[in-house]
Amino acid sequence: MTKKTGKKESYWWQHKSFNEIEEHAKECDIAILPLGSIEQHGHHLPTGHDTLQLFPMLEKVAEETGAMLLPTPWYGAHPHHHWEFPGTIPLENDTLNKLIKDVVRGAAKAGFKKFILFFGHGQAFVTNYTVQELGREGYYVLSVMFQSMVRDIHKDIFETPFWHADEAETSLALHNFPEYVDMSKAVDMGATSLVDGEFVSGCTDYGVSTPLRFDSGTVSAPEYKDLKTEDGELIGVVGKPSLASKEKGEEYTDYIVERTIKLVKHIKEKYPAGEEVETI
């Protein structure tokens, strides 16, 4: 789509001039910050998986709601078991939290008053205190882990819970950025837990009373300790990418987009543009 001026229409902050950004905030003062990672995702998926999947999702959300999309930092914080993989570029938790605070404080100067941290990577728990601290500074900041948002329908689409480079993540990739996927290299694999399976829950485990890694404020205690074969070969998968399909990825993505649109519209109605939200 192009405007009469010839300039391409975009909801991304980095494509706009400073005065266009300010004008945008007068119409819709909600800004979404996509947060993913640069992290190994097995042999068959790119390291940018968690970030790449967010672009098509959030562009649909922005188109439908008028929300602004903030430039994504690409890098993320990581559980320790990914750190030894070449290709993973981990941020320290403190670095990520400071970065989020700087982005929110900076974007607020242009008139944006409501922020959604939108996570495509299991790191929302690292930033829970940051959301609270920004609230104390007067900023309205929500944290969304999309896997949690659609947990109830996960089981209707996938045969296995959400883990890593698995059925769900590979399906998301096949739908959202198939050009960077090589299914001929996909390997199914489990992981070694630090305690027996009965004590550990998957990210979208089908149990009701078990702690869930993507729950806000809840970390399932012991993470798996390695992602290797018995011979020590680095594989990096937890789950079954062989079960993935483009169709599953599309259905799942549609739910995520639909529910995110619903959330943004709810915020718009509850707090019209320009309205200060009292967070303290």
Give contact residues for Zn ion (rule: CB under 5 A).
Answer: 50
Burial of residue 204 (CB within 10 Å: 0-12, 13-18, 19+) is: buried
State the Cα–Cα distance between residues 231 and 21, nearest whole angstrom: 54
Beta carbon nearer to Zn ion, 139 or 162: 162
Nearer to Zn ion, 45 or 107 (CB): 45
In the complex, least distance from residue 18 CB atom to Zn ion, rounded to whole angstroms: 34
C-beta of 171: minimal distance to Zn ion in Å? 12
Q: Closest by alpha carbon to 122, among 186, 251, 242, 216?
A: 216
50 or 167: CB nearest Zn ion: 50
- Write down the least CB distance from residue 172 to Zn ion, Å: 9
Q: Measured from the CB of residue 41, what is the shortest distance to Zn ion in angstroms?
A: 6
Q: Which residue has the closest beta carbon to Zn ion? A: 50
The answer to whether the beta carbons of residues 74 and 34 sit under 8 Å apart is no
First to last CA, the chain: 41
Q: What CA–CA distance (Å, rounded) separates 209 from 97?
A: 30
Would you say 53 or 143 has its CB closer to Zn ion? 53
